A and B are shown apart, each in its own frame.
Chain A
Amino acid sequence: MKAKTPDNVREVRFDEFSSSDSLIKAAEQAHKRNYKDFLIVDVDSHHYESESYGEIFKFIDNPVIRRQALESASRGGRSSMLGGSVGYQDIGGRITRHWLRRHEKTEGPEHRDITTTLRWMDAMGVDYACLFPTPMLFLGTHPQVEIEVAMARAYNRWLCDTILEHEPRIISMLYLPFNDPEATYQMVKDFGHRKGVKGFMVTAPRYKPVHDNAYMKTYRLLEEMGLPISFHAAYNWNDQSLQLTNRFIGVHALGFMWFNMVHMTNWVVNGLPERFPKLKVMWIESGLTWAYSLMQRLDHSYKMRTSDCPALKRKPSEYMREMYFSSQPMEMPDDPSILEATFKMINAETQLVWSSDYPHWDFDLPGVIYDLPFLNEQSKRNILGGNAAKLFNLDPKPVKNIPTARSLK
């Protein structure tokens, strides 16, 4: 006969899932570190918009493309309008939330993505989260520009109407269909004033240079509206250089730096910071070491080759130090003095903004910042929320509701 399981013993189940329970140990950390006392803003988090394609596709304006999208979504099969990218983010099933999340139960009238997002936010101690899509991070490499434009507009309308309009703790920087400069400009005009829209985002894997004259009126408009532009990293395993890598660790480690390094280099050497001195620029999900490296590389060459970038009045690193950098995936060298030097180089006190990237495989908790030995309490709070609150014009009063941790029950 089976003995009664004692109250202090539990089994591990793989047929149920809750965002709150799976992060209950994060809630424990949040309580121990008193996150309830200060604002935490996550500038880069995600949902899986592909789970809502049936809803999103209905927002596609063009009836022909809408029909194609709805048909390809309903049938499944060997091809689809949006395609996909080769990837092994769940490390062969080792990241269990990726395949368990389908078991998560939600109730109430709000959209499922609102419910699940608020659950993980509260567990981590996050007050506001900037929400981004997941498969659409690769849409910039779609061979049909009109599909990128159609999907961007449909997704942004759906996000504003369905999520941002209904939940003030979820904000976003909306997707820009960057392969079409005119549509990019129109997107900012049409959506820049919507509730919860705190800026606009360019997915980094793409092959249009950021210094193309066609984008200048968009940058000017963003500058006038006081809205930041961000570049969200991702990889493109079909890129000729990255095709040389044969393991996901390789394409991920390099790819998430590569495109942002190219865009940053173009942004600086073409003098865009001088042309748009008040435009706020953020670099997302490349970690920090790339900036530390690129600052030194560009400064070194600049002193010999000022004629290559005559628009600059200062060294490249001085412009880069005025931009914003999201923290995740924050490299953790064994020697913390190396990380401390990186923080100093990018002026982390005011320019670093914490991000989780949850629920993706390499997400960070606020502890990656809070537990650093070389930061004082105020610096920690600036990076975890204060800097982003200023950038996004958010109320600094904490609004989270951290669930009770198991050890405190």
Chain B
Amino acid sequence: MEIFVAKKSEFKASDRRIVQSERGEIGVFHHEGGFYAYSNTCLHSGGPACEGVLMPKVVDIIAEDRTYQGQEFDESEMHFVCPWHGWEYDIKTGQSIGDRRQFLRKFEVVERGDDVFVIA
């Protein structure tokens, strides 16, 4: 079933919408030109996984001599964060960062002209 989400032109950078469907709530993200949709139910304790902040992956900077040189953001891997407890997910795959064997249920997003739909 196709559900109309919004006009593409209405999405700001790294914007999202929450869609109510018969298969539960779905978070639809617009990030770096693409659309990604996932179940809005966190794998941890059922929180609103898609309703938190977006934050890039944090990495330790380890030098060639293996000494620690601080931390930085890796802007190439954006995470969305469940606001209840901070569980992080890769925005492009839905992969749980704390347990990479787990993924949020993913939904297909279709663009037709300026209209954005999610298949649920």
Which parts of B22-53 form the interface with A (CB within 8 Å)?
24-25, 41, 45-48, 50-53
CB contact under 8 A between A361 and B51, given known A12-B16, A367-B46: no
B45 to A94, Cβ gap below 8 A?
A: no
**Contact partners of B85 in chain A: CB under 8 A:** 95, 361-363
A361 to B86, Cβ gap below 8 A?
A: yes
B24 to A407, Cβ gap below 8 A?
A: yes
- Which residue of the partner chain A has the closest CB to B68? A246
User: Bound complex: CA of A97 vs CA of B21, how far in Å?
Assistant: 26
B104 within 8 A of A: no
**Contact partners of B7 in chain A: CB under 8 A:** 2-3
User: Bound complex: CA of A9 vs CA of B18, how far in Å?
Assistant: 6
Identify A96's interface contact among B4, B18, B45, B53, CB under 8 A.
Answer: B53
Minimum Cβ distance to chain B for residue A20 (Å) = 13
Which parts of B87-117 form the interface with A (CB within 8 Å)?
88
Minimum Cβ distance to chain B for residue A275 (Å) = 41
- Which residue of the partner chain B has the closest CB to A7? B20
B55 to A94, Cβ gap below 8 A?
A: yes
Which parts of A1-40 form the interface with B (CB within 8 Å)?
2-3, 5-6, 8-12, 14, 22, 25-26, 28-29
**Contact partners of B81 in chain A: CB under 8 A:** 94
A91 within 8 A of B: yes
Minimum Cβ distance to chain A for residue B102 (Å) = 11
**Contact partners of B4 in chain A: CB under 8 A:** 6, 9
User: Bound complex: CA of A29 vs CA of B24, how far in Å?
Assistant: 13
A365 to B86, Cβ gap below 8 A?
A: no
**Contact partners of A368 in chain B: CB under 8 A:** 45
Which parts of B63-101 form the interface with A (CB within 8 Å)?
81, 83-86, 88
CB contact under 8 A between A25 and B48, given known A2-B10, A407-B24: yes
- Which residue of the partner chain A has the closest CB to B49? A25
A93 to B53, Cβ gap below 8 A?
A: yes
User: Bound complex: CA of A10 vs CA of B16, how far in Å?
Assistant: 9
User: Bound complex: CA of A368 vs CA of B84, how far in Å?
Assistant: 14
B62 within 8 A of A: no
Minimum Cβ distance to chain A for residue B85 (Å) = 6
**Contact partners of A25 in chain B: CB under 8 A:** 41, 46-48
Which parts of A63-117 form the interface with B (CB within 8 Å)?
91-97
A406 within 8 A of B: yes
CB contact under 8 A between A365 and B83, given known A5-B6, A8-B3, A9-B5: no
**Contact partners of A29 in chain B: CB under 8 A:** 46
Minimum Cβ distance to chain B for residue A283 (Å) = 23
Identify A94's interface contact among B17, B46, B86, CB under 8 A.
Answer: B86
User: Bound complex: CA of A25 vs CA of B43, how far in Å?
Assistant: 13
**Contact partners of B53 in chain A: CB under 8 A:** 14, 93-94, 96
A97 to B83, Cβ gap below 8 A?
A: yes
Identify B86's interface contact among A10, A22, A95, CB under 8 A.
Answer: A95
User: Bound complex: CA of A3 vs CA of B11, how far in Å?
Assistant: 12
**Contact partners of A9 in chain B: CB under 8 A:** 3-6, 17-20
A12 to B51, Cβ gap below 8 A?
A: yes
Identify B20's interface contact among A14, A93, A365, A406, CB under 8 A.
Answer: A406
Minimum Cβ distance to chain B for residue A209 (Å) = 35
Identify A10's interface contact among B17, B55, B84, CB under 8 A.
Answer: B17
**Contact partners of B24 in chain A: CB under 8 A:** 407
Which parts of A167-213 form the interface with B (CB within 8 Å)?
none
User: Bound complex: CA of A3 vs CA of B8, how far in Å?
Assistant: 11
A26 to B46, Cβ gap below 8 A?
A: yes
**Contact partners of A2 in chain B: CB under 8 A:** 7, 10
User: Bound complex: CA of A14 vs CA of B52, how far in Å?
Assistant: 9
**Contact partners of A26 in chain B: CB under 8 A:** 46
User: Bound complex: CA of A270 vs CA of B53, how far in Å?
Assistant: 50
User: Bound complex: CA of A363 vs CA of B51, how far in Å?
Assistant: 18
Residues of chain B at the chain A interface (Cβ within 8 Å): 3-7, 10, 16-21, 24-25, 41, 45-48, 50-53, 55, 81, 83-86, 88
Chain A to chain B contacts (Cβ below 8 Å), 23 pairs: A5-B6, A8-B19, A9-B3, A9-B6, A10-B18, A11-B17, A12-B17, A14-B53, A22-B83, A25-B41, A25-B48, A26-B46, A28-B46, A93-B53, A93-B55, A96-B53, A361-B85, A363-B84, A364-B45, A367-B45, A406-B20, A406-B25, A407-B25
List 6 tightest A-B contacts by C-beta distance, closest first: A96-B83, A8-B20, A94-B86, A94-B81, A91-B86, A12-B51
